[in-house]
Amino acid sequence: MKIFQHVQDIGDLGQALAEAQEVKRDRFQWQYLGRNKTALLIFFNNSLRTRLSTQKAALNLGMNVIVLDVNHGAWKLETEHGVIMDGDKSEHLLEAIPVMASYCDLIGVRSFARFESREDDYEEKILNQFIRYSGRPVFFMESATVHPLQAFADLITIEEAWERRVVSPETMSPGASPRPKVVLTWAPHPKALPQAVPNSFVEWMVAAAAQSLPLGGVGGGLDFVITHPEGYELDPQFAGGAHVEYDQMKAFEGADFVYAKNWSCPGVTRPGDYGKVLDDYHKMMDWTVSARQMAVTNDAHFMHCLPVRRNMIVTDDVIEGPRSLVIPEAANREISAQVVLKRMLESL
């Protein structure tokens, strides 16, 4: 694997999930792969989970790890071509990338959407320069449009929880479908957030449905529904073919998994509003996931990628409740990262 950006880069999802379980059984068995190899993790933005889980995954594989926070201690980087560099940016990305690449074997990059231009964000202007000029395998640690390490961890978490559910008949209601119903719901937030997490989650769920992925060892695929207020339609390159239900309560009916996330306007149906919060969040608080919505689900598990703003996205009782999967979901970030790094090491 030379690039990890989209669900297609991981190939067959059943195989990827099997590999994730193999990693879980003994995560240190491939230390020979990473011997004398270095992973460089470059952060243009803050992180807790991605920073720690990816380092841990690389260490599990016997690698050395270098972490660079571009905005803390490195020279400020210019990313635009052709500009006269007479401002506060001392170094251009076009020199910095090959220099950084000379010190490592694999590169992970986190660089969020800037919301200055939809075109620049959706063309992945920053990450594509790393792919083009580094000569190294590049994995996306949340870019302007995708967060595949998160989506892979989410899929692992759904598969594990569904397996526990289908093997325990007492937790399955009579006549229940062996295909889980998974709902992605928009939830309110005071600030404009990127679309990377929902884009990737949708992309991976659509692929799992298309591949009729047997979850929990039974059935084929899943039923997937997206719910959000009008104006927040996700880009069709990710959400094409997914069912959208604008009535949140209707979407939640019979759900087995509820995945909550805020995202700003993707500019699909409202091109002039790209990256904006469309309505004052005070008016949108009935979208906060609470016991009211969870009551119409099939005792659904609650999921969120974290960090989460409590009592904005989800109420305390739901996130602290017995159906919350937010901690195992975060723990699975180590596993998804390890599968990806292992495949990249195997392809060097």
- Which residues make up the interface to ligand CP (CB under 6 A)? 47-50, 142, 150, 305-307
Dihedral sign, Cα of residue 264, residue 232, residue 286, residue 294: negative
Query: Shortest approach of ligand CP to residue 89 CB, angstroms?
Result: 25
Task: Name which of 251 and 325 has its Cβ closer to ligand CP.
Answer: 325
Tokens of 43: 């952060």
Is 195 or 298 the residue whose CB approaches ligand CP more closely?
195
Determine the Cα–Cα distance for residues 303 and 154; give it in Å rounded to an integer: 8
The SS3 call for residue 310 is strand
User: Would you say 129 or 200 has its CB closer to ligand CP?
Assistant: 200
Give dist(CA 217, CA 165) in Å, integer. Answer: 11
Compare residues 47 and 177 and give the one whose CB is closer to ligand CP: 47
**CA dist., res. 64 & res. 106, Å (int):** 11
Q: Which is nearer to ligand CP, 69 or 245 (CB)?
A: 69
Six token digits for residue 5: 């950006």
The smaller minimum CB distance to ligand CP, of residues 106 and 305, is found at 305
- Report residue 135 as tokens: 């000569």
Question: CB-based burial of residue 168 (10 Å sphere; 0-12 exposed, 13-18 middle, 19+ buried)?
Answer: exposed
- Measured torsion, CA atoms of residues 185, 186, 189, 191, in degrees rounded to the nearest 10: 140
Rounded Cα distance, 267 and 277, in Å: 11
Minimum gap (Å) between residue 49 Cβ and ligand CP: 4
- The residue to which tokens 């008016």 are assigned: 283
Q: How far is the CB of 111 from ligand CP (least distance, A)?
A: 12
Residue closer to ligand CP, measured from CB, 114 or 270? 114
Place of tokens 């608080």: 285
| Residues 4 and 140: beta-carbon distance below 8 Å | yes
Only one residue has tokens 């719901």, namely 185
Nearest distance, CB of residue 307 and ligand CP, angstroms: 6
